[in-house]
Amino acid sequence: MKTILITGAAGDVGTHLRRELAGKYLLKVSDLRSLKKINKEEQFVRADISKFSDALRITKNVDAVVHLGGYSVEGPWDAILNANIIGCYNVFEAAHRNGVKRIIFPTSNHATGFYRRDETIDHRVYPKPDGRYGVSKVFGEALGSLYADKYAMQVFCMRLGNVNPMPLDNRRLSIWFSPRDLAQLVTIGIEHPKIHFEIVYGVSRNKRSWYDNSNAHRLGYRPQDDSERFAKEVIAREKSGGDPTAELYQGGIFTVAEAVPNPAPLPGKKGKK
């Protein structure tokens, strides 16, 4: 059974993924924060990935890394720089030094957030980040390309939509990603024998999707869920009169906000940074 390191394991996406992959892999789970619950099949290692020594320590003796760790929303530059740029580099370089050949990097829809909602885009479009957070994800994709070409690592980048048991609003009807579809796509990233460097979209089979996800389908992705079954309920509760710029672009509120509430504050800190 392969040993898989999941950074950022205490976050929402990490929590869903740990549940879905339980029993399939030996999970080495890491975060700067404590986990609410650690399963008996998991090994928890606390780490601050902005410190290279921590990144080097947690990437030892694993078969693949799912790098979810970092600052997960638009926020101040210093926080994004340390967590998403320095931290991302540290994880890639530490994995390389430890001989880990495969990295699954969940990038973000915010790497392309300034495409309009009336456009359909694929994995080949030029990045159009909608903020500092989006820029950090473009950096991670570029870093993955470098490590794939220069060091023969196998890098699988997933531009995540929104991982949740159900879509939360009208925008997320287009980018919803169910936990079981997440697990399927991550498993492809871990197991597919012919990955060198790939970019795919981390979304379910949504009727309202903005993405041509044929590259994921080429690799065997067969999503099981579609946000359309929630559409009537979601649209009925949606409030009108949102910011016109946010409503125009795929990135939503990230296109106009300087910061949004941090869903994963560090212990002792408030939800907005």
Residues with catalytic function: 133
Q: Which helix (H) or strand (E) holds 29?
A: strand 26-31
CA pair distance 4, 67, nearest whole angstrom: 10
Kindly report the number of other CB atoms within 10 A of residue 138's CB atom. 18
Strands 42-46, 26-31: pairing kind: parallel
Exposure pattern of 210-225 as b/e (b: 16+ CB <10 Å)?
A: bbebebbeebebebeb
- Nearest CA to 104 out of 62, 133, 132 is that of 62
CA 57 from centroid of its chain's CA atoms: 22
8 A C-beta contact, residue 209 and residue 194: no
Kindly report the number of other CB atoms within 10 A of residue 37's CB atom. 8
Report residue 159 as tokens.
């531009």
CA pair distance 41, 227, nearest whole angstrom: 32
